[in-house]
Amino acid sequence: MAKSEFLTFLVDETLKLKGSGEGNLSSFELKLTDYHLDFLKGEFIPQFQVLRFHTPFGSLDVPMNWKLFSCESEDYQLLDHSNDDEGFYSILKTAWDIPLEKVLILHADGFCYLVGLKAGDEYYLRDLVNPQEWLKSA
């Protein structure tokens, strides 16, 4: 997906979800909740070109031009200490109050999700990164 198409999609989906006034969980969030996985949901803020995550440790704004959040080459990113070029994993591991092994970064339902994976949670990875799997179960 081209970056301009992705940004347009994010803006449209965010405005549509905000306009509906519904606070219901998306099908992807329901799957994360069912699996008891910790996650942060980020929304695109077009005025600042950032993804804003509301976290237990405060708001976290991440620039859209970070390589980690690019959708051009991969549908998702799996971040751990071995590929932590920007130091983002180290920051999350320190600030997030869970014993992180990896962080899954992916886009679903017009939002960006940071899914904290603890030891043993990689079992759910195939199901989480394959949209067809969770769409069938919704």
User: What are 17-49's pLDDT values in tens digits?
Assistant: 555 544 556 788 888 999 999 999 999 899 998
Alpha-carbon separation of residue 72 from 8, 10, 36, 46, 62 (angstroms): 14, 14, 29, 19, 17
Domain boundaries, the chain: 3-137
Bridge partners (DSSP) listed for residue 129: none
**What pTM did the predictor assign?**
0.75
Q: Are 45 and 111 in contact (CB under 8 A)?
A: no
> Domain 3-137 - what CATH class?
alpha beta
Q: What is the pLDDT of residue 100?
A: 92
Residues in the chain with pLDDT < 70? 1-7, 10-11, 13-25, 70-74, 131-138
